[in-house]
Amino acid sequence: MNDIADDIRLGPDLLPHDGRFGSGPSKVRQDSVERLAKAAPTYLGTSHRKPGVREVVARVREGLASMYALPGDYEVLLGIGGATLFWDAATFGLIRERSLHYVFGEFSSKFALAAGRAPHLRRPVVVESDFGTHPDVGDDPSCDVYALTHSETSTGVAMPVVRPVPADDDGPIVVVDATSAAGGLRVDPAEFDVYYFSPQKCLGSEGGLWLALCSPAGIARIEAIAADPDRWQPASLSLALALDNSRQNQTYNTPALATLFLLADQVEEICAHGGIEWAASRCDASAAAVYGWADASSYATPFVEDPSKRSHTVATIDFDDSVDAAAVCRVLRANGIVDVEPYRKLGRNQIRVALFPNIETEDVVTLTRAVDHVVGALAG
């Protein structure tokens, strides 16, 4: 088997223009990198408290507000540490007493775990569904945070962002992990209070930052908890400090300037084409290509059975037992097509393909043809 695999060479018609299909870190546009290289002599290595970098942060904040046509009283916050750090920040600064988590994969379960271990909070309510599906939202009056995940990157399931209960001053807030969704899936800002994400997925930048689009109720929650003398918050995890610094187009501690630059560039690219609708339409086209191919295939099937639950930013495709997905991935990798291995803990015989807006639909189509070719060649 291995010998055959080593010999399979894909011809030029089976090679995408860009071989990066990973779900994060994911494809970064080369023209962004070139603009960064050009800006570097007066940008990289300069103070994040001075206008040069603060202007880039302002472009990110204004650009995200414009991409989503956010209401004027929403604010864009950012800080160091990515979505994973944001879960911990939320246990200190967003959850008053108790959160409710809709869990349907690795990422949604991790936030529930973080809240469950925080000694100052009540045990969270966890509403789970089988991997490959998502739970339906329902209310629980004992909870003051509803934690949703727009696109569960580990399984390729997208859930609608809708409030479990109508918005209400001082009521529960809706906090959404949008890490593989932001910049690729449509969302109505009226349906969330905090929509947070890392920039290394649809937003074509590097890891290490978190961003959060916040409604007035989200901001009010941050401020109310920060004013509680009984609530200890480590400074690096304080959303109130992040709010303060974000309003000045800074971060509390030093950010990666390259990450900010690449993010601003990507946000402006999407905005220049009209915003999230344009980006989401690109993802729709790629989703139609990959799911259409799998539906028609004799050996491949979309892992997510219900088409309405299939994420248009991350596709998971099962192979039947006649095909060894790991062997297919090895051949693809040897040919420069990388990171279509499945999420390791899901443990399925499948490939996972990012459909982020930077990834050309034409390349997704070529990938499906390459997979067909490799499967045929491996079968001898």
Ligand X SMILES: *Cc1c(COP(=O)(O)O)cnc(C)c1O
Interaction site with ligand X (CB under 6 A): 24, 82-84, 107, 149, 153, 177, 179-180, 198, 207
- Three-state DSSP state, 302: strand
Q: How far is the CB of 231 from ligand X (least distance, A)?
A: 24
- Residue 316, strand partner residues: 352
Residue showing the smallest CB distance to ligand X in the complex: 82
Q: How far is the CB of 211 from ligand X (least distance, A)?
A: 11
Q: How far is the CB of 246 from ligand X (least distance, A)?
A: 18
Q: Which is nearer to ligand X, 195 or 293 (CB)?
A: 195
Q: Which is nearer to ligand X, 128 or 372 (CB)?
A: 128
- Residue 314, strand partner residues: 354
Q: How far is the CB of 134 from ligand X (least distance, A)?
A: 12
- Three-state DSSP state, 43: helix
With beta carbons less than 8 A apart as the criterion, state whether 198 and 210 touch: yes
Q: Which is nearer to ligand X, 211 or 328 (CB)?
A: 211
Rounded Cα–Cα distance for residues 117 and 4 (Å): 49
Q: Which is nearer to ligand X, 331 or 340 (CB)?
A: 340
Q: Which is nearer to ligand X, 164 or 207 (CB)?
A: 207
Q: Which is nearer to ligand X, 153 or 215 (CB)?
A: 153
Q: Pull the structure tokens for residue 376.
A: 């045929």
Q: Which is nearer to ligand X, 156 or 366 (CB)?
A: 156
With beta carbons less than 8 A apart as the criterion, state whether 166 and 137 touch: no
For 281-343, the three-class secondary structure string (H helix, E strand, C coil) is: HHHHHHHHHHHHHHHHCCCEEECCCCHHHECCCEEEEEECCCCCHHHHHHHHHHCCCECCCCC
Rounded Cα–Cα distance for residues 269 and 48 (Å): 23
Q: Is the dihedral of CA 102, 107, 111, 114 positive or negative?
A: positive
Place of tokens 């099937």: 301
Cα 301 from chain centroid (whole Å): 24
Cα dist from 242 to 66, 76, 239, 247, whole Å: 21, 10, 5, 8
Q: How far is the CB of 77 from ligand X (least distance, A)?
A: 16
Q: How far is the CB of 263 from ligand X (least distance, A)?
A: 13
Q: How far is the CB of 229 from ligand X (least distance, A)?
A: 30
- Residue 196, strand partner residues: 177, 212
Parallel/antiparallel/unpaired status of strands 75-80 and 209-214 = antiparallel
Q: Which helix (H) or strand (E) holds 263?
A: helix 257-272
- Three-state DSSP state, 18: coil
Q: How far is the CB of 64 from ligand X (least distance, A)?
A: 16
Q: How far is the CB of 105 from ligand X (least distance, A)?
A: 8
With beta carbons less than 8 A apart as the criterion, state whether 165 and 171 touch: yes
Q: Which is nearer to ligand X, 10 or 178 (CB)?
A: 178
Q: Which is nearer to ligand X, 198 or 250 (CB)?
A: 198
Rounded Cα–Cα distance for residues 211 and 332 (Å): 33
